[in-house]
Amino acid sequence: MTEFLIRPSLHNKSLFKNKSSINEKGEKIDIPIIEEKPLTLYLNNQEIVTMMTIGDYPEFLAIGYLFNQGMLEVYSDIRKIEYHKDLKTIVVRTNSKTNFEKKLKKKVNTSGCAQGTVFGDLFEEIESVKLNKKNKISYTQLINLSKKINTEPSLYLKVGAIHGCVLCQADRPLYYFEDVGRHNAVDKIAGLILKEKINTEDMSFYTTGRLTSEMVIKCIKMKIPILLSRSGFTSWAVEIARKKNLTMVGRLRGKRLSILSGKHRIISE
């Protein structure tokens, strides 16, 4: 069955540069270093945020950010997207008028790398979300999925200083995005889901980064019932996951894992 419908942008040379360095032997060598670029997002005529990003998939990133911040509900409301690479800006124009001045003042800083933001009323938004209880994944599928993702050639393996997020189905990794902040990689996936109208009820979400409250909230908002990470987790993330019946698995490395919530979706073997 098909895997990696979208792979990391490994061969996009605009995403990294070679810089000179001195190795442990005192030798001067060139090493690849990830490029970090500003991208200012406008919603109609209102400046929303300036994100630090590697620069690939700007449309997915912009759409996903607006969706995850509660500023955009459906893709059909978008009239036009204007990406100006030279100006480092992207403008999303909608059919309806928007004004999020009050919402922009009411935001919660999160612990995401490069500092993500979650607006306070998102907690109210996820209250009504019901996650699919019938979606199951086996221990063997979890191990296979982790191995496939961690051995897939990526910017992380080539350059480092980057996070990856993958939208998966059973033990098949389907859409793999990377960025300097994991919240950016999450937003790219959210943008893909919204634009392509992907049904996520039987899917899982894998991240290389730690599981924070922001990650849990965004996963629930995308209606993905299973959240996986090779890293650790925060207590608030665990609390929200348990309250919303999200299956959350952390420290997924080799044959080891920690199930923090939603054990009923993990099939014992």
Q: How many residues does the chain have?
A: 269
Domain containing 232 equals: 137-267
Residue 149 lies in a domain: yes
pLDDT in tens, 121-156: 667 789 999 999 999 999 999 999 999 999 999 999
Residue 23 lies in a domain: no
pLDDT in tens, 99-128: 887 777 666 555 455 455 555 566 778 999
Based on the structure, what is the number of domains in the chain?
1
Task: Report the CATH number at residue 232.
Answer: 3.40.140.10
Residue 14 lies in a domain: no
Residue 43 lies in a domain: no
Residue 174 lies in a domain: yes
Residue 171 lies in a domain: yes
- In DSSP notation, 131-162 reads --SS--EEHHHHHHHHHHHHHS--HHHHT-S-
pLDDT in tens, 29-65: 999 999 999 999 999 999 999 999 999 999 999 999 9
When computed from its CA atoms, the radius of gyration of the chain, rounded to whole angstroms, is 19
Residue 180 lies in a domain: yes
Say which DSSP state 87 is in: T
